Amino acid sequence: MKKRRTFGIDLPDEDGLNAFPAGKGVVTPAPAVPTRRSPMAAAITENADSLRDRRAMEEQIRAENDALAAEHVRMKKLGLIVDLVPLDQIETWKLVRDRVKGDDFELAELVTSIRDLGLSNPIRVEMREDGRYELVQGFRRLSAYRQLLAETGDAASWGAIPAGILPRGEDLEGLYRRMVDENLVRKDISFAEMAMLALNYARDPHTSENDPDKAVAQLFQSAGYQKRSYIRQFIRLMERLGEDLQFSQHIPRALGLQLVTALEDNPDLAGEIRARLKGWDNRSVKDELGILRRVLGNSPREAAAGADEDATPAKPATPSGKAKTTFQLPSRLGQAKCTAANGRLEIRLARDFTAIERRRLELALERMLNDLG
């Protein structure tokens, strides 16, 4: 029996580069045909890509919103968020104002300015728990808006006022400081008004200080030492005569300091001043200051600016007398603020005189000048 011969066969290696039949060369394998994805798989992939893009966009938007919210909180704490607040939602009871009794003669000018040019500086209010607002800064501006609303009835223009809204929670001392610091930049605020603010602060049961002198140190930190000293002196004056004076905001610094010294030397002087002013409700600034000077025993020429006990009219000042006299007069056109000086008479009134016919103005001034002559 023949034995079967076994032939050795070499199989190609994994790279397919080993023994091939003679003369055949290397055969390049055909390119792989990509596997075709089903429509469902393609949709799933596209949806995943879309979700990743959307998630990245949401994270970016969230980061931007967080930054805006932090900036909003910062600006709100500073009272820089401004909105239109209806006048009937603003209260003025929390902070006792520095305004003393008597007319605010500059309010008419402010009303005219706001009417013609608009409000350049918003007021500041604090949001209350009941949704209303408490005034912190801008009492005169709020008063001007209320007057414009009463005069015109135009709620669309004057029924709401631009206001920086402070968040709730700031302590009362901080709110008073805000009000005081704003008032200190006013050129027309008087020592009597600053003294009354310190007195009202000390009398407020919700504040931590009941000593007016120490209240001056707390409230008027940005004022100089000398100015704080004058305010404390006027506190003495307002404690003794504040309820009896109608025009204390017009008392010059020198006259006020003289009155304080005189009252401390002679406590009965306060009673004499009250007796002279009692029942004289129609007195003017000139009348009241004249009484104060007369009681002090100043020169007869200065005292003549006031009136004596029975309110007899004072004698006209001579050209060599006071450099300037300021007084106010009620009229059908409103409250007029008048300044008389050597060679000059000025009348300031919340009225556009250019709208009045020239001939009417001439006749009115002619009658007035003839009466003065």
What pLDDT digit, counting tens, does each position of 89-144 carry? 998 876 655 454 555 556 777 888 888 888 888 888 888 888 889 888 788 889 89
Residue 322 is given by DSSP the state -
Whole-number Å distance between alpha carbons of 162 and 86: 9
* pLDDT score of 105: 59
Whole-number Å distance between alpha carbons of 215 and 62: 47
Most confident of 77-91, 228-242, 315-329: 228-242
Q: What is the mean pLDDT of residues 10-29?
A: 53
* pLDDT score of 364: 84
Most confident of 113-117, 183-187, 331-335, 343-347: 113-117
* pLDDT score of 45: 74
Whole-number Å distance between alpha carbons of 242 and 24: 125
Residues of the chain with CATH 3.90.1530.10: 76-170
CA-nearest of 252, 221, 214 to 234 is 252
The pLDDT-based confidence of 316 (bands split at 50, 70, 90) is very low
CB 199 within 8 A of CB 240: no
Q: Please give the structure tokens belonging to residue 364.
A: 């009115």
* pLDDT score of 315: 37
Length of the chain: 373
Give 319's contacts (C-beta < 8 A, 6+ positions apart).
342
Give 211's contacts (C-beta < 8 A, 6+ positions apart).
202
Find tokens 């011969």 and name the residue.
Answer: 5
Phi first, then psi, for residue 354 (nearest 5°) are: -70, -15
Q: Encode 233-267: b = buried (16+ Cβ within 10 Å), e = exposed.
A: bbbbbbebbbebbbbbbbbeeebbbbbbebbeeee
Most confident of 138-142, 289-293, 344-348: 289-293
Q: What is the mean pLDDT of residues 255-280?
A: 90
What strands, in cross-sheet order, belong to the sheet with 133-137? 82-86, 160-166, 123-127, 133-137, 90-91
Whole-number Å distance between alpha carbons of 262 and 299: 16
Helix (H) or strand (E) holding 76: helix 39-77
The pLDDT-based confidence of 308 (bands split at 50, 70, 90) is very low
CATH for the stretch 76-170: 3.90.1530.10
CA-nearest of 124, 200, 109 to 161 is 124
CA-nearest of 88, 168, 167, 91 to 134 is 91
